[in-house]
Structure 1
Amino acid sequence: MTEGDRELSALIQELWDNDTNRLRPGIDYRISLQGKAGDLAGVPDDSDGAGMPLFSFVDENIFKKETFLAFISLLDNYESDTGEPEIVTPEEEMENHRFLDSVIKTPTMKIAHKYLVEKRLSPEDTTGFKQQLYKIWFELYARKGSSKPDSSGFEHVFVGETRGGHTVIGFHNWIQLYLQEKLGHIDYKGYSVNANSPQPDENKHMLALQFSWKNGIKPKGSIFIGVSPEFEFSLYTLCFLMSPNERVKVSFNLYDVEIVCHHYNQKHIGTTYPVLVKYLNV
């Protein structure tokens, strides 16, 4: 681990410690891992490793909190198919701003902002910082194969997209996963592990998994579970602005993690998600 990775790890530990809205596994939510998912994309249903939903319980009172409310209001603002141009209505733009306003006030984003200002990577004034966040996350761009703006960092990472009707891309957020599963739009296929990854744990905050959504399959996705929107938003913003390497190795709490963060034209987030390397011995 480089000196920069160690510094970033200490900062992310601070974000983690100040994530006051994080849910507690087994108390505020419960998941049911069940079996291991098949290894291939487009697996038939008979290789489904899970007969039941992933989430067996979530205390939805948490969704009344300001950042959760603002986050959930954004989830129905997008066309999931890549190639379908996005049209942002004035109301949707207001919802984007409302979400940023709610996140900027949180302890996690204040810590991230202070650090980015010290590194001269972000403007010190809140208005300028908010404009920077809007550009990174909400400004539309054309994904590969599309001629018109059909995507954004926020849509890809937090909402999910479909490509060619058969493949799910992005979709790295547990709140969207839970809400879509509750509506019957998600079929959880089981957890994903390989020879190098640790066995998943229902009481930990990270999971690699397979699921189908809108007739498409996500062969392997990786998500945080139970964390607040502001934690993920702060973490991914930091990694985007701090790292040109697209893979950042960090250690915090119980986790040794790689944060994958692909840039799009160096201006926007293409995708970003966590990959669990190992549990730390505590």
Structure 2
Amino acid sequence: MAGSQQANEELTQLLNELWCLDTNRLRPGTDYIISLQGRAGYVAQGSNYARDRARAPLFTYVNEDKLKGIETYSHFINLLDNYEASTGVSETVTSDELKENWLFIDSMMETTVMKCAHRYLHKKGQSPSDSEQFKKQLHDIWFRLYHRDRSGGEDSCGFEHVFVGETKFSHEIIGLHNWVQFYLQEKHDHVDYKGYKARANKDTPDEDDHVLNLQFSWKGLVKPLGGCFIGVSPEFEVALFTIVFLMSTEKKTSLEVKVDEYVLELVVYRHGRCIGTAYPKLLSSNHKDL
């Protein structure tokens, strides 16, 4: 896929189809309200100090009835407390937690977003046609445990890293690229939003934007820059990153695509047969031109 303009155009077309199918996406200004406030400042490498350019939280309002009432969100939220944040600490998956993994996957497979992704991946020879086998493939990609810190046991998985977040050697935030987790952690005063990061001085994000680059602190540590979608459904993110992962054999895949009005860089790292990390970077938005 890397280096092929035709493949990149095909992927862009598919991702826009998934975007249109994502009927569970929350609507800015109606289902949620964010307050961008100030532009985040520079953080020195290895430092855990960042000047706070945002006195208020990022999320002013989120319709929690939708988070509880839409199955994919509710099953997703049930997974967020299943992990040890520190790398090097072995994860233990209980039978209840394993059941929660499958309930989440089952709920995603009922959505048009994931059905579309499955059809495409089967057509490309990357996934089995049988939905049960595809669910197992999703489970292996996202929930199979592996070693992130070689000094300990199996301490990580794709889902934990991308959606929940981890701390490395107690001095660095890694992962945590999901808006629902960010909102819930912020609600409980575990996350402190420091401000937005623009890719260029002239690029100022809009509070209706569905993709942002953020700076924040969590568990006493600072993440200088973290990209995440805002308002999109869990199934959209899982489908999008699964497609990028399976359509490339590279250790790192970086693609520039235009989804809706956003020009994004999609970054996916491979950890063997599993996702190591995956996130979007907002390059530009033509929101005001629509």
Kept in 1: contact 2:89–2:152 (CA 8 A): no
| 1:29 aligned to which of 6, 29, 32 | 32
Q: Which deviates more, 94-103 or 161-170?
A: 161-170
Kept in 2: contact 1:261–1:273 (CA 8 A): yes
Kept in 2: contact 1:12–1:252 (CA 8 A): yes
1:13 pairs with 2:13: no
Superposition RMSD in Å: 1.4
1:154 pairs with 2:159: yes
CA gap of 1:107–1:165, structure 2 versus 1, over 3 A, is same
Shift of 1:193: 2.0
Shift of 1:197: 7.6
Shift of 1:44: 3.2
Q: Which deviates more, 186-195 or 9-18?
A: 186-195
CA gap of 1:139–1:43, structure 2 versus 1, over 3 A, is closer
Cα displacement string for residues 179-218 of structure 1 (whole angstroms, at most 9, x for unaligned residues):
0000010110111124378321111101101111111111
Matches within 5 A, 1:36-75: 36-41=39-44, 42=47, 44=49, 47-63=51-67, 64-75=69-80
SS in 2 for 1:262: strand
Corresponding residue number in structure 2 for 1:101: 106
1:181 pairs with 2:177: no
Cα displacement string for residues 70-121 of structure 1 (whole angstroms, at most 9, x for unaligned residues):
0000000000000000000000000000000000110000000000000010
Kept in 2: contact 1:165–1:215 (CA 8 A): no
The answer for unaligned runs of 5 or more in structure 1 is: none
CA gap of 1:135–1:182, structure 2 versus 1, over 3 A, is same
Kept in 2: contact 1:197–1:276 (CA 8 A): no
Kept in 2: contact 1:257–1:277 (CA 8 A): yes
Shift of 1:249: 1.9
> Aligned equivalents of 1:118 and 1:44: distance in 2?
48
| 1:122 aligned to which of 123, 127, 130 | 127
Corresponding residue number in structure 2 for 1:268: 274
SS in 2 for 1:61: helix
| TM-score using structure 1 length | 0.96
Corresponding residue number in structure 1 for 2:137: 132
Shift of 1:278: 1.7
Q: Percentage identity across aligned positions?
A: 52
| TM-score using structure 2 length | 0.93
> Aligned equivalents of 2:151 and 2:249: distance in 1?
25
The answer for unaligned runs of 5 or more in structure 2 is: none
| 1:248 aligned to which of 232, 244, 255 | 255
Q: Which amino acid aligns with 2:66?
A: I
CA gap of 1:62–1:153, structure 2 versus 1, over 3 A, is same
> Aligned equivalents of 2:162 and 2:154: distance in 1?
16
| 2:207 aligned to which of 175, 195, 202 | 202
Kept in 2: contact 1:36–1:193 (CA 8 A): yes
Q: Which amino acid aligns with 1:49?
A: R
Q: Which amino acid aligns with 2:216?
A: F
Shift of 1:163: 1.1
